[in-house]
Amino acid sequence: MLFWIVVLVVVGGLAWIRLAPSDPAVWHVDPKVTADQDLASGVRRRIAGGAPVFAALHRIILETPRTEVLAGAPDDGRVTYVTRSQWMGFPDYTTVQLGEGHLELYARQRFGQSDLGVNRARVEGWLAQLGDGR
């Protein structure tokens, strides 16, 4: 009996991770990036660029597997994306905001205490592709 309770709790937890709603009011917020930061739960980056760079980065991000727009659009000056891990479906949120002559990126996890560098690697990959395409 205890075995089945444990199985039910584990399956329920995994279902919550995959199916939990993403509230734009919580995640689609000003990234407030003043300097590059590597955090346990994500990464903040500030890069030079305007609307054309934002549009190019938007295309690159949308080509990332299991990534979709949560809220916003490049024309609005802010977009928040959700990227889910392949096997467990853990959501990571990345907000990109257009400032005066720069873009602010804030990528962070929703569940857990450390993303093990996943968000940093993803953002650096996007920025490398952006650098190749400029």
CATH class of 2-133: alpha beta
pTM: 0.88
pLDDT band at 106 (very low <50, low <70, confident <90, very high): very high
Give CA angle at 104 (79, 19), nearest 5°. Answer: 40
Number of C-beta neighbours around residue 81 at 10 A: 22
Average pLDDT, the chain: 92
pLDDT digits (tens, 9 = 90+) for 6-48: 888 888 777 777 778 899 999 999 999 999 999 999 999 999 9
**What is the side-by-side order of every strand in the sheet holding 91-98?**
37-39, 42-48, 102-109, 91-98, 78-84, 67-73
Of 40, 42, 33, residue with least CA distance to 96: 33
The whole-angstrom separation of Cα 57 and Cα 129 is 9
User: Which pLDDT band holds residue 63 (cuts at 50, 70, 90)?
Assistant: very high
Contact 70, 93 (CB under 8 A): yes
